[in-house]
């Protein structure tokens, strides 16, 4: 299991009845980014996309985790003085919360095995999460599933495996990018420019990262502007997302991005300790 991922978080949080389900999930997600010093710096947009909620929900959740002593928030700035994503210090020491932990009966009564939690007046066995709301701006699996099944030529589809594959895919690619690639695949079979076989099952298409191998429909004369490259570079650093219209990703040898963009990505990735984002050309001397 060389690709296994873990989350470094204080165990107290998972029994802390003050935390909502979203706040626990947020802390767990932040914990997947921490390094040896227990610091992490994912952007709020990244967190919102992965949890499927709004940035306001993430901001409110961060405030709650800070209030209850599970994280500290450190502001970060770029070389030009502009603000970049915050750094989150995950606090592992219960003493840093000054006794305000689940172990303190005055704060959160201990849970006794075999005892059913009290029922709220609404009939729920747990309190509702007031900030867990769907992100209306995010493409959903249902959008992609409907688009994929519009193809007149496709293999037999199974929804649950496709849903599971989608959940893994949106952690490394922009959902909108995947949807656009699906729409192009379907359009090629509705109005074929040449011979096209049937679309494989959606699970396999996602697993094989079909959005990466598909050639975008664009006019040859359309040139990629410097602004497009710079915008894509910032998006890659903050979200790990790269538009299919710009070809291979910056950490691939065949990437066509300008050197200044690759250098910028190398510097930011080095600051984050994420060497996997750096183009092989800049692995040796990313600061030059």
- The tens digit of pLDDT for each residue in 147-202 reads 899 888 888 889 999 999 999 888 888 888 888 888 888 888 877 766 677 888 89
- Pairing mode, strands 71-77 and 83-90: antiparallel
Q: Find the mean pLDDT for residues 126-138.
A: 45
Confidence at residue 63, expressed as pLDDT on a 0 to 100 scale: 92
pLDDT tens across 249-283, in order? 888 878 888 888 888 888 888 888 788 877 777 66
Q: Is 83 helix (H, G, I), strand (E, B) or coil?
A: strand
| Residues 13 and 133 both lie in one domain | yes
CA distance linking residue 265 with residue 277, whole number of Å = 8
Domain shared by 89 and 35, yes or no: yes
Give me the mean pLDDT over the 117-140 stretch: 49
196 in Cβ contact with 189 (< 8 Å): yes
The domain boundary, picked from 180, 213, 246, lies at 213
* Chosen domain end from 171, 186, 213: 213
Claim to verify: residue 132 and residue 245 sit in the same structural domain:
no
Does residue 115 carry a pLDDT above 70? no
pLDDT of res. 98? 47
CA trace torsion 110, 13, 92, 49 (10° rounding): 180
Find the domain containing 195 and state its range. 141-213
Q: Quick check: is 220 in a domain?
A: no
What pTM was estimated for this model as a whole? 0.36
- pLDDT the model gives residue 104: 44
Give me the percent of the chain exceeding a pLDDT of 70: 73
Across the chain, mean pLDDT equals 75
Element (H, E) at 86: strand 83-90
| Domain annotation covers residue 17 | yes
Q: Is residue 160 part of a domain?
A: yes
pLDDT of residue 163: 92
Length of the chain (residues): 288
Query: 6 and 103, same structural domain?
Result: yes
Q: Is 103 exposed, middle or buried (0-12, 13-18, 19+ CB in 10 A)?
A: middle
pLDDT at 257: 85
Q: Which of 23-32, 34-43, 123-132, 235-244 has the lowest average pLDDT?
A: 123-132
Instruction: Give me the residue label for tokens 């626990």.
Output: 24
How many domains is the chain built from?
Answer: 3
Looking at residue 52, what DSSP letter applies?
Answer: T
């Amino acid at each position: 299991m060389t690709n296994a991922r873990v989350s470094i978080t204080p165990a107290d949080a998972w029994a802390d009845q003050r935390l909502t389900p979203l706040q626990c999930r947020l802390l767990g997600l932040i914990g997947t980014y921490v390094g040896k010093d227990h610091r992490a710096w994912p952007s709020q947009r990244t967190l919102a996309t992965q949890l499927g909620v709004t940035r306001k929900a993430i901001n409110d959740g961060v405030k709650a985790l800070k209030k209850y002593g599970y994280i500290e928030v450190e502001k970060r700035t770029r070389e030009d003085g502009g603000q970049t994503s915050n750094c989150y210090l995950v606090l592992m020491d219960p003493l840093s919360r000054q006794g305000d932990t689940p172990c303190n009966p005055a704060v959160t009564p201990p849970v006794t095995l075999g005892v059913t939690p009290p029922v709220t007046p609404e009939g729920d066995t747990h309190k509702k999460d007031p900030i867990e709301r769907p992100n209306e701006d995010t493409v959903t699996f249902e959008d992609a599933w409907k688009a994929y099944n519009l193809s007149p030529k496709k293999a037999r589809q199974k929804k649950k495996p496709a849903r599971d594959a989608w959940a893994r895919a949106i952690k490394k690619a922009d959902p909108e990018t995947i949807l656009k690639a699906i729409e192009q695949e379907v359009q090629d079979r509705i109005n074929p420019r040449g011979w096209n076989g049937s679309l494989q099952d959606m699970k396999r298409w996602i697993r094989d990262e079909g959005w990466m191998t598909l050639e975008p429909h664009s006019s040859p004369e359309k040139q990629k502007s410097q602004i497009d490259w710079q915008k894509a570079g910032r998006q890659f650093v903050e979200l790990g997302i790269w538009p299919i219209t710009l070809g291979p990703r910056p950490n691939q040898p065949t990437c066509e991005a300008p050197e200044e963009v690759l250098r910028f990505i190398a510097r930011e990735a080095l600051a984050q300790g994420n060497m996997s984002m750096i183009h092989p050309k800049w692995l040796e001397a990313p600061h030059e």
